């Protein structure tokens, strides 16, 4: 019988309060232990304040440190997530959503959001001596978010490593 030994190294988890980032948080806890996890969330001016409330509740329940970083004055968007003038599209089912969205990005896309989150997380990581950042994104949710793809995450990782001289 093998016993998984926790890696005793600090990590940062970008925690939105949704299912993808919550899964990443609990994976990080499983691998590193809650005492080694810092969860960071972002107030980017989202209309749905429940995101930040959920992130806070999840971090508290998980027993990890949690920081909310205010970037609402740094992201400009026409997304219905942040712009009170734009209404959220509603779909009866997944098939209708596929038909409406097609090859375009979902209107909820906030340009450069995940890029900014990762840059700030990398800044925190460098200052704190953290070598791993977890972020939960989903390429398969049919929103065509270009910043939720494997290619984007790979490029962001290379950019961060290059910027910090780790290549």
pLDDT at 1: 43
pTM score, whole prediction: 0.89
Residue with the bigger pLDDT between 75 and 38: it is 38
144: left (phi over 0), alpha (psi -120 to 50) or beta: left
Q: Is the pLDDT of residue 5 over 70?
A: no
64 contacts 37 by C-beta, under 8 angstroms: yes
pLDDT recorded at residue 110? 87
- How far is residue 63's CA from residue 39's CA, in Å, rounded to a whole number? 10
The H-assigned helical ranges of 14-112 are 19-32, 50-62, 94-101
In the predicted structure, residue 142 carries a pLDDT above the cut 70? no
CA distance from start to end of the chain: 38
Beta-carbon contacts of 100 under 8 Å, excluding residues fewer than 6 positions away, are 89, 91
For position 58, what pLDDT does the model report?
98
Residues sharing a CB contact under 8 Å with residue 137, sequence separation 6 or more, in sequence order: 20, 114, 145, 147, 148, 149, 152, 153
Q: Per-residue pLDDT for 74 more than 70? A: yes
Comparing 141 with 51, the larger pLDDT belongs to 51
- Using the predicted structure, report yes or no on whether residue 28 has a pLDDT greater than 70: yes
């Amino acid at each position: 019988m093998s016993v998984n030994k926790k890696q005793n190294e600090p990590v940062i988890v970008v925690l939105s309060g949704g299912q993808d980032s919550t899964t990443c948080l609990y994976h990080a806890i499983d691998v590193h232990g809650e005492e080694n996890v810092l969860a960071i969330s972002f107030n980017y001016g989202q209309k749905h304040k429940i995101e930040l409330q959920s992130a806070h509740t999840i971090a508290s329940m998980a027993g990890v440190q949690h920081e909310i970083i205010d970037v609402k004055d740094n992201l400009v968007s026409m997304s219905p997530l942040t712009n009170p003038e734009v209404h959220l599209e509603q779909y009866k089912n997944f098939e209708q959503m596929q038909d409406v969205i097609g090859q375009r990005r979902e209107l909820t896309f906030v340009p450069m959001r995940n890029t900014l989150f990762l840059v700030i997380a990398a800044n925190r990581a460098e200052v704190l001596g953290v070598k791993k950042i977890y972020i939960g994104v989903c390429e398969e949710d049919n929103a065509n978010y270009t910043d939720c793809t494997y290619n984007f995450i790979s490029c962001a990782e290379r950019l961060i490593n290059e910027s910090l001289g780790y290549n």
